[in-house]
Amino acid sequence: MEKTPVVIAGTGAEAKIALEIFSLCDVFVYGFVTDDEEKIRKDLNDVSIFGRPDDAEVISLLKGNETGFFIAEGDIRRRKELAILMVKPAGRPPINAIHPASSIAKYAKIGIGNLINAYCCLDPDSTTGDYNVFHSHVSVGTDTKVGHYNTMERGVRIGGNVKIGNEVFIGTGAVIYPGVKIGDGVVIGAGSVVLKEVKKGNTVFGNPASEIQK
């Protein structure tokens, strides 16, 4: 992981995880930024929340080459907004936050701005896009393709040769069988076992998982 000092966008659970990861990797965290005015000028786990993502001070930091940034936001829509807001002034992509206790295969491919927490396992020839959140103990099988802006909660198990689209939320402990295709915007409930394709925008739950009518 790069050793450049980093600014973390966000103050929720993902931001706390990112801070822990960077601390373990000896990466200096300059501070947090947030849109929540009540939190600005306070501390989060002994690190300052010093401004908004679009403040002049923050933009100045991002324009230089001495400070990187990471978007640590649980809400997928807000994650996308921050990516648009911060990448342009920075002129470069965000870094990844990868826990040293994770297992990333030599031939796994990882995009930009991903949070990969402790004890995750990405198998050989798996491909991960950009701005995904992998909470702890997530496993991704060989030849599986994960798109962009997805969230995998703790303990998710994804088999081999699975295709996951964009903006997908997979709840705690869910299992996706090998070869299954998951469309964009899908929500998979906690503990679900997914045996067959889930079409774009659907919500499924159960063992075996079935569609929940909206």
- Kindly report the CATH number assigned to the domain that includes residue 129: 2.160.10.10
How far apart CA 3 and CA 189 sit, in angstroms, is: 37
Listed residue (126, 55, 77, 203) closest to 69, CA to CA = 55
Out of 66, 95, 124, a domain closes at 95
- Residues 71 and 111 placed together within one structural domain of the fold: no
Tally of domains in the chain:
2
How far apart CA 120 and CA 99 sit, in angstroms, is: 8
pLDDT in tens, 19-53: 999 999 999 999 999 999 899 989 999 999 999 99
Structural domain boundaries, residue 188: 98-207
pLDDT in tens, 150-208: 999 999 999 999 999 999 999 999 999 999 999 999 999 999 999 999 999 999 999 99
- Residues 203 and 106 placed together within one structural domain of the fold: yes
- Residues 19 and 37 placed together within one structural domain of the fold: yes
- Residues 76 and 106 placed together within one structural domain of the fold: no
The answer as to whether 201 is a domain residue is yes
User: Are 49 and 40 spatial neighbours (Cβ–Cβ below 8 Å)?
Assistant: yes
The answer as to whether 37 is a domain residue is yes
Contacts of residue 72, defined as CB under 8 A and 6 or more positions apart, other chains included, come to 8, 9, 10, 12, 14, 15, 17, 18, 97, 115
Total-model pTM: 0.94
